[in-house]
Chain A
């Protein structure tokens, strides 16, 4: 447990600093009030609005741990959202509708996984196919229009609340915890890391790397399906053109801010989730601060660059070096620091 806390400390500190920074610009940032039996406040909005990226980040973390990448998750959101809206408008029951949407996500993941693991196409190219084609599939389902519905049960998943907390804000932590348990209470996480570090060696050691890779892309598709369901339920309509647009990039960014290497190997789902919350905090903070919209992307880029630079391992080593060099009375302290920093 304490190792997990140590692992996510940089992300947690970043989030706290960010919140403090925004609180200076917008004083009521952490205020939470209760209206109509539900919690209301910017912090709650962040937990709710960040749900899509957080869900995607869970699946993306696993994919990236295998040294892969999944560019198609935004398009899968559009497909699953379209199927969900289509199902509910055609009078299927809520259960059937959700099953169809999730099945579509798993199928999309199976497609990606097969291209990567069986046919051997590079992940970035393999998932690019569905990224570009997927939105077309979604448009075929919605016939190019925004498919709206008025089913309150389904809408509840996007805009309802349980114990005063918005449903999407509950969905992503639950998904994250379940995935983390599956990874860390079994050997699954270790096997994924092994495949990411060296697929051939792990296959020789007896790991069924092909099956594991397919499963990982299907997990990513599953997470994207959940994100598609809440996105569609939220606006009571499936917008094939815009649902999940560019979210794959935010999800990858969340994983990177979470300190996970794009080269595969060690991963932390908790850190990726914190990364997703950092991104959403920036987004919501910009909206609340009231800057003109021309500045949105510049401010976001500036903050992201600052965070990534502060987290870079080389900067960490340099910092340790100078701390020892400046404050250590012992001769040779600096060299010792370099040795520590490199570890």
Chain B
């Protein structure tokens, strides 16, 4: 305890001396490439803004996250970023942070606690991502008949449900676009390829398919391979639109095999730091939820440059 106090005192003294803000970041772990990229970008953002970032990897365990937050409070940090591994069980530790007057910003995922216990939450709207993809297809086919096949995410998962609904909302008013087949590819390349092969068989060797909508880029990459092996040109004969914007899909776009992707940005920390800086400056309270931009990338957006920019983020 004494050591922690000394450390905390040292941290406060150091923080004051350098007049830099200290932010603790409790990350879930590194279960996916996307999360690794989120960690990398958070570090980069902190470095750019001269913020002293204390990083803690919880290895997918809530108790590690709670312990990390308590130690951040003991160190007297200026703010805490939290990417919560589960939604429940945060009330008491968030109350402790509130008593210590340390603002908490949630990244990427939500908690079930009262909104007054945290400053704001930064995240993406999954339904909106699906509708951006749908809107792209509506514009791309410009009123022509289009039979779409859909590669869904893992059955029952919230991204699969929300991305399916968003896409359907976007094409609802357009009778020319119709989803003719829909199957799960479990978010993986192998299953994306296997399911696409059967779609091609079932739809006249691919002649009757106008576009593929995949709930993530990996399944789209599998589908592209299946289409190529069936002797068709992905990106031309069959349009490909997917979600996530991982580096490999930009490579496929540069080769003309994929048409569009909607970004689920791993830069959750940027908007979070913006909100925190405004709060530190004059106490501005940000909105309860800050929605990150679901940006659409197409072949016109210099995919090769986007690939180069992303390849080292740890995806």
* Cβ contact within 8 Å between B231 and A145: no
**Contacting chain B: which of A123-131, A253-261, A287-295?**
A287-295
Q: Indicate with 1 or 0, residue by residue over A73-108, a CB within 8 angstroms of chain B CB atoms.
A: 000000000000000000000000000000000000
| Contacts A26-B202, A148-B248 given; does A293 touch B190 at CB 8 Å | no
How long is the Cα–Cα vector from A146 to B33 in the complex, in angstroms? 9
Q: Indicate with 1 or 0, residue by residue over B84-112, a CB within 8 angstroms of chain A CB atoms.
A: 00000000000000000000000000000
B218 within 8 A of A: yes
How long is the Cα–Cα vector from A177 to B199 in the complex, in angstroms? 32
Considering only residues 30-45 of chain A, those with a C-beta below 8 Å from chain B are 33, 35-36, 40-42, 45
**Contacting chain A: which of B114-122, B178-186, B260-268?**
B178-186
Contacts of B189 in A (CB 8 A): 146, 235, 237, 239, 242
* Cβ contact within 8 Å between A236 and B248: no
**Contacting chain A: which of B42-50, B165-173, B222-230?**
B222-230
Considering only residues 198-221 of chain A, those with a C-beta below 8 Å from chain B are none
A224 within 8 A of B: no
B306 within 8 A of A: no
* Cβ contact within 8 Å between A144 and B229: no
Contacts of A41 in B (CB 8 A): 201
User: Smallest distance from the beta carbon of B250 to chain A beta carbons, Å?
Assistant: 13
Residue of A nearest to B202 (CB): A288
B271 within 8 A of A: no
User: Smallest distance from the beta carbon of A170 to chain B beta carbons, Å?
Assistant: 16
Which of A26, A33, A145: most chain B Cβ within 10 A?
A145
* Cβ contact within 8 Å between B198 and A234: no
User: Smallest distance from the beta carbon of B57 to chain A beta carbons, Å?
Assistant: 13
Contacts of A234 in B (CB 8 A): 190, 193, 225
B135 within 8 A of A: no
User: Smallest distance from the beta carbon of A292 to chain B beta carbons, Å?
Assistant: 7
A159 within 8 A of B: yes
How long is the Cα–Cα vector from A45 to B201 in the complex, in angstroms? 9
Contact of B182 among A26, A243, A293 (CB under 8 A): A293
* Cβ contact within 8 Å between A42 and B152: no
Contacts of A231 in B (CB 8 A): 190
User: Smallest distance from the beta carbon of A29 to chain B beta carbons, Å?
Assistant: 9
Contacts of A144 in B (CB 8 A): 30, 33, 36, 314
* Cβ contact within 8 Å between A242 and B182: no
Size range of the chain B interface in the assembly: 35 or more
User: Smallest distance from the beta carbon of A291 to chain B beta carbons, Å?
Assistant: 9
A266 within 8 A of B: no
A49 within 8 A of B: yes
B38 within 8 A of A: no
A175 within 8 A of B: no
* Cβ contact within 8 Å between A36 and B193: no
Q: Indicate with 1 or 0, residue by residue over A1-32, a CB within 8 angstroms of chain B CB atoms.
A: 00000000000000000000000001010000
Which of B188, B189, B198: most chain A Cβ within 10 A?
B198
B195 within 8 A of A: yes
Contacts of B270 in A (CB 8 A): none
B315 within 8 A of A: yes
B205 within 8 A of A: yes
* Cβ contact within 8 Å between B205 and A42: no
* Cβ contact within 8 Å between A159 and B225: yes
Considering only residues 197-220 of chain B, those with a C-beta below 8 Å from chain A are 197-199, 201-202, 205, 218
How long is the Cα–Cα vector from A29 to B202 in the complex, in angstroms? 9
* Cβ contact within 8 Å between A296 and B184: yes
Contacts of B202 in A (CB 8 A): 26, 287-288, 290
How long is the Cα–Cα vector from A49 to B182 in the complex, in angstroms? 20
| Contacts A45-B197, A146-B33, A293-B155 given; does A235 touch B190 at CB 8 Å | yes
| Contacts A290-B202, A293-B152 given; does A235 touch B248 at CB 8 Å | no
* Cβ contact within 8 Å between A235 and B222: yes
Contact of A40 among B155, B186, B205 (CB under 8 A): B205
B194 within 8 A of A: yes
* Cβ contact within 8 Å between B225 and A42: no
Residue of B nearest to A293 (CB): B184
* Cβ contact within 8 Å between A146 and B248: yes
* Cβ contact within 8 Å between B190 and A284: no
* Cβ contact within 8 Å between B315 and A145: yes
Which of B190, B191, B199, B221: most chain A Cβ within 10 A?
B190
Contacts of B194 in A (CB 8 A): 49, 287
In order of increasing CB-CB distance, the 9 nearest A-B pairs are: A287-B198, A293-B184, A242-B188, A235-B189, A145-B33, A36-B231, A293-B155, A293-B183, A42-B201
Interface residues of A (CB under 8 A from B): 26, 28, 33, 35-36, 40-42, 45, 49, 144-146, 148, 159, 231, 234-237, 239, 241-243, 284, 287-288, 290, 292-294, 296
20 contacts between A and B (CB under 8 A): A28-B201, A35-B230, A35-B231, A36-B231, A41-B201, A45-B197, A49-B197, A145-B36, A146-B33, A159-B229, A231-B190, A242-B186, A242-B189, A242-B191, A284-B198, A287-B194, A287-B195, A287-B199, A290-B181, A293-B183
| New A-B contacts (14) at CB < 8 Å, excluding given A28-B201, A45-B198 | A40-B201, A40-B205, A49-B194, A145-B36, A145-B314, A146-B218, A239-B218, A241-B32, A242-B190, A287-B183, A287-B198, A288-B201, A293-B152, A293-B155
